[in-house]
Amino acid sequence: MNLATDEAGTSLKGNYKKGFEYSDCWVMDSRLVIINAQDAAAKGAEIRVRTQLISAERAEGIWTLKILDKNSGKVSTTQARVLVNAAGPWLDTLLPHISHTRTAEHIRMVKGSHILVRQLFTHERAYIFQNNDDRIIFAIPFQNKFTLIGTTDVDYHGKPDEVKIDSEEISYLCKVASEYFITQIGPEDVVSSYSGIRPLFDDGTSDAKAATRDYVLKLDTGDEEAPLLSIYGGKITTYRKLAESVLKKLSPFLPGMKTTWTEGANLPGGDFSPDGFTGEVNKLLAACPAISKEHATRLIRTYGTCSHEMTQNIKTTEELGTHFGHQLYSFEVDYLLSHEWAQNAEDVLWRRTRMGLFLSPEETVHLENYIIEKSSILTATDEEK
């Protein structure tokens, strides 16, 4: 593509004349977790959020698991024929609590950090830039008002739940992006950031960016005991292939289990064609005239066709419910509490949506108080039942 004439070149420095374009997909990682859990629940799985595995012992071909409900403090036991350690960054720290054969395999935690800055360009395309250090970074339109820039590759040795971006990563991402964009950015321009951990298989590579991104499956049957399968590595882009590989490896222990079926299967809310997005937005607007086109676009982008269930019977502004700020109303919050296991404001604002970018501290407190009150009512109703 000719960057001198294409809109993609208007935000770039003048010394970049040619680019190459291809199509890709993007996903909000935490939502991918939720909709897979919804899909599993619809197929018979029992989803237990905020539940910790205390121990897992195997005997006579059966696993006995002791688990802790962190909300109630109740400890209970359950049993299984097969156990899969898909704990990602926590794989190594979880193994000592599970009966297993001693192993030399470990994960290598590599941190990837991202920053959000005010919009650097107004079109809908993303950029991938090649850096002098042989890495790439991307710059992606985000929530209509921001540009998401990432990512880094840094070895990490701390606790996975305490991971966060450091000043060197922020400076690195700002510096590399500024080599390409006309609008220069620095650490003072960062409005938000987040970090994740890649739980890679430790293949002994010295350079974090060179470590394998492929997954490795390790099956432990002990002395002909109940099987334990541990997953090292893996990527979002191949997670379904990984899952089918897991089922294939476990098929001797799960007779009759179908191992390959996901290629043509939609996740919840994804039952429309790739070019049908605009049609779903218009359908939602026609059925729920109380919301704006921007609001409808966000709902379809976040929930897909599940948005129609969420907004059914809403015709007037009053029926949207309590307004917490920006486009967040109680009808959406109620859906997240009842259908997506949300339990607090952080779940709603950051794990199920990215609305935390728009709500003020006061609005966040308002939302938290609403959820506490709503949860108390639901708990009381359940106890009555």
Q: In 43-90, where does DSSP find H-type helix?
A: none
pLDDT per position as a tens digit, 52-73? 999 999 999 999 999 999 999 9
Q: Whole-angstrom Cα distance, residue 52 to residue 351?
A: 19
Interval 184-240: pLDDT, tens: 999 999 999 999 999 999 877 767 666 677 899 999 998 888 999 999 998 888 899
pLDDT in tens, 100-115: 998 888 999 999 999 9
pTM score: 0.90
Q: In this structure, are strands 62-69 and 75-80 parallel, antiparallel, or unpaired?
A: antiparallel
**Average pLDDT for the chain:** 93
Least confident of 76-85, 120-129, 233-242, 317-326: 233-242
pLDDT of residue 103: 85
Is pLDDT of 25 > 90? no
**CB contact at 8 A, 173 and 149:** yes
Burial 42-52 (b: 16+ CB within 10 A, else e): eeeeeeeeeee
In angstroms, the CA 147 to CA 139 distance is 6
Tokens of 109: 């935690």
Residues whose CB is less than 8 angstroms from the CB of residue 145 and which lie 6 or more positions away in sequence, other chains included? 118, 119, 357
Q: Are 215 and 232 in contact (CB under 8 A)?
A: yes
User: CA 132 from chain center: how many Å?
Assistant: 30
H-type alpha helices, 3-67: 29-42
Write the pLDDT tens digit of every residue in 135-176: 999 999 999 899 999 999 999 999 999 999 999 999 999 999
257: pLDDT strictly greater than 80: yes
CA 290 from centroid of its chain's CA atoms: 30
Q: What share of the chain is helix, strand, coil (3-state, %, to 5)?
A: 35, 25, 40
Q: Is the pLDDT of residue 276 over 60?
A: yes
Identify the DSSP state of 47. P
Q: Which residue has the tokens 């197929």?
A: 43
* Percentage, residues of the chain above pLDDT 70: 97
Q: How far apart are CA 10 and CA 127, in angstroms?
A: 13
Q: Amino acid identity, residue 204?
A: G
In whole angstroms, give the CA distance from residue 335 to residue 169: 37
Domain annotation for the chain: domains and CATH numbers? 48-101+211-253 (3.50.50.60), 107-201 (3.30.9.10), 277-384 (1.10.8.870)
Q: Which of 24, 222, 303, 258 is nearest to 138 (CA)?
A: 24
Tokens of 100: 């297993």
Question: Which stretches does DSSP call E strand in 271-346?
Answer: 323-325, 328-329
Neighbours of 131 (CB within 10 A): 13
- Mean pLDDT score, 298-305: 96
